Amino acid sequence: MASSPLYIVLCSGEHEKLQMAAMMASVGAVSERPVEVFVSMNAILAFAKDAPAADARYQGGAFSKLLKEKRAPDAITLFRQGKALGDLKLWACSMALDVKGWELSALVDDLFDGALGLTKFLSDAENGQFITL
Protein backbone atom coordinates (compact mmCIF):
# COMPACT_ATOMS: atom_id res chain seq x y z
CA MET A 1 0.00 0.00 0.00
CA ALA A 2 1.62 3.25 -1.14
CA SER A 3 1.59 5.99 1.47
CA SER A 4 2.45 9.62 1.01
CA PRO A 5 6.19 10.11 1.63
CA LEU A 6 7.29 11.79 4.84
CA TYR A 7 9.80 14.63 4.70
CA ILE A 8 11.45 15.71 7.93
CA VAL A 9 13.58 18.81 8.31
CA LEU A 10 15.69 18.26 11.40
CA CYS A 11 17.46 21.39 12.57
CA SER A 12 17.32 21.26 16.37
CA GLY A 13 20.25 19.73 18.21
CA GLU A 14 18.08 18.96 21.25
CA HIS A 15 18.17 15.31 22.24
CA GLU A 16 14.38 15.09 22.51
CA LYS A 17 13.86 16.35 18.95
CA LEU A 18 16.62 14.16 17.51
CA GLN A 19 15.02 11.18 19.25
CA MET A 20 11.54 12.05 17.96
CA ALA A 21 12.87 12.46 14.42
CA ALA A 22 14.64 9.10 14.63
CA MET A 23 11.47 7.44 15.98
CA MET A 24 9.26 8.94 13.25
CA ALA A 25 11.74 8.16 10.50
CA SER A 26 12.27 4.55 11.54
CA VAL A 27 8.60 3.78 12.19
CA GLY A 28 7.58 5.47 8.95
CA ALA A 29 10.15 3.51 6.98
CA VAL A 30 9.17 0.13 8.44
CA SER A 31 5.51 0.98 7.80
CA GLU A 32 6.43 1.06 4.12
CA ARG A 33 6.30 4.80 3.87
CA PRO A 34 9.23 6.47 2.08
CA VAL A 35 10.98 8.88 4.45
CA GLU A 36 13.59 11.53 3.75
CA VAL A 37 15.33 13.53 6.47
CA PHE A 38 17.16 16.79 5.80
CA VAL A 39 19.64 17.52 8.59
CA SER A 40 20.81 21.10 9.13
CA MET A 41 21.79 23.72 11.75
CA ASN A 42 22.52 22.42 15.26
CA ALA A 43 21.18 18.98 14.40
CA ILE A 44 24.11 18.25 12.14
CA LEU A 45 26.51 18.67 15.06
CA ALA A 46 25.00 15.59 16.74
CA PHE A 47 26.05 13.49 13.74
CA ALA A 48 29.74 14.41 13.93
CA LYS A 49 31.91 11.35 13.57
CA ASP A 50 34.29 12.57 16.28
CA ALA A 51 31.56 13.43 18.79
CA PRO A 52 32.13 12.11 22.29
CA ALA A 53 30.21 9.21 23.80
CA ALA A 54 26.43 9.06 23.36
CA ASP A 55 25.68 10.78 26.65
CA ALA A 56 27.57 13.88 25.53
CA ARG A 57 26.45 13.68 21.89
CA TYR A 58 22.81 14.15 22.86
CA GLN A 59 22.14 17.26 24.94
CA GLY A 60 18.66 18.17 26.10
CA GLY A 61 16.31 18.90 28.95
CA ALA A 62 14.40 16.94 31.55
CA PHE A 63 13.17 14.29 29.15
CA SER A 64 16.65 13.78 27.73
CA LYS A 65 17.77 12.81 31.24
CA LEU A 66 14.97 10.26 31.42
CA LEU A 67 15.82 8.86 27.98
CA LYS A 68 19.41 8.35 29.11
CA GLU A 69 18.39 6.87 32.48
CA LYS A 70 15.99 4.44 30.84
CA ARG A 71 18.54 3.60 28.17
CA ALA A 72 16.22 4.52 25.29
CA PRO A 73 17.59 3.37 21.95
CA ASP A 74 20.26 5.64 20.51
CA ALA A 75 18.85 8.03 17.85
CA ILE A 76 21.58 7.23 15.33
CA THR A 77 20.95 3.50 15.84
CA LEU A 78 17.23 4.05 15.17
CA PHE A 79 18.00 5.90 11.94
CA ARG A 80 20.29 3.02 10.91
CA GLN A 81 17.58 0.45 11.66
CA GLY A 82 15.08 2.45 9.61
CA LYS A 83 17.51 2.46 6.68
CA ALA A 84 18.13 -1.28 6.99
CA LEU A 85 14.43 -2.17 7.17
CA GLY A 86 12.76 0.38 4.90
CA ASP A 87 13.05 3.25 2.45
CA LEU A 88 14.76 5.93 4.56
CA LYS A 89 17.20 8.50 3.25
CA LEU A 90 19.17 11.08 5.20
CA TRP A 91 20.58 14.16 3.57
CA ALA A 92 23.14 16.53 5.03
CA CYS A 93 22.34 20.18 4.33
CA SER A 94 25.02 21.43 1.96
CA MET A 95 24.92 24.89 3.52
CA ALA A 96 25.48 23.48 7.03
CA LEU A 97 28.43 21.40 5.83
CA ASP A 98 29.90 24.45 4.09
CA VAL A 99 29.50 26.74 7.11
CA LYS A 100 31.14 24.13 9.35
CA GLY A 101 33.90 23.54 6.80
CA TRP A 102 32.98 19.86 6.81
CA GLU A 103 32.89 17.20 4.11
CA LEU A 104 30.41 14.34 4.33
CA SER A 105 33.21 12.26 5.78
CA ALA A 106 33.01 14.35 8.98
CA LEU A 107 29.65 12.71 9.72
CA VAL A 108 29.03 9.25 11.15
CA ASP A 109 29.56 6.48 8.62
CA ASP A 110 26.87 4.61 6.69
CA LEU A 111 24.03 6.97 7.52
CA PHE A 112 23.86 9.85 5.06
CA ASP A 113 22.93 9.34 1.43
CA GLY A 114 24.71 12.52 0.44
CA ALA A 115 24.68 16.30 0.70
CA LEU A 116 21.68 18.20 -0.63
CA GLY A 117 20.53 21.79 -1.05
CA LEU A 118 17.28 23.00 0.51
CA THR A 119 15.79 23.92 -2.87
CA LYS A 120 16.07 20.35 -4.11
CA PHE A 121 14.70 18.93 -0.85
CA LEU A 122 11.69 21.29 -0.89
CA SER A 123 11.05 20.45 -4.51
CA ASP A 124 11.16 16.70 -3.78
CA ALA A 125 8.82 17.23 -0.80
CA GLU A 126 6.07 18.93 -2.80
CA ASN A 127 3.80 15.92 -2.75
CA GLY A 128 4.58 14.52 0.68
CA GLN A 129 3.90 15.31 4.29
CA PHE A 130 6.32 17.81 5.74
CA ILE A 131 7.51 17.95 9.36
CA THR A 132 10.04 20.29 10.93
CA LEU A 133 11.83 19.57 14.19
Query: Which residue in 119, 14, 25 sits closest to 59, CA to CA?
Result: 14
Angle formed at CA 22 by CA 125 and CA 66, multiple of 5 degrees: 145
Helix (H) or strand (E) holding 7: strand 6-10
Judged by CB under 8 A, the residue of 30, 48, 95, 108 near another protein is: 30
Q: Does the protein bind another protein through residue 17 (CB under 8 A)?
A: no
Distance CA(27)–CA(13), nearest Å, equals: 21
Q: Does the protein bind another protein through residue 115 (CB under 8 A)?
A: no
Q: Which of residues 32-91 bind another protein (CB under 8 A)?
A: 32-33, 70, 72-73, 78, 81-82, 84-86
Count, residues near another protein per rule CB under 8 A:
18
Q: Which residues bind another protein (CB under 8 A)?
A: 1, 3, 23, 26-27, 30-33, 70, 72-73, 78, 81-82, 84-86
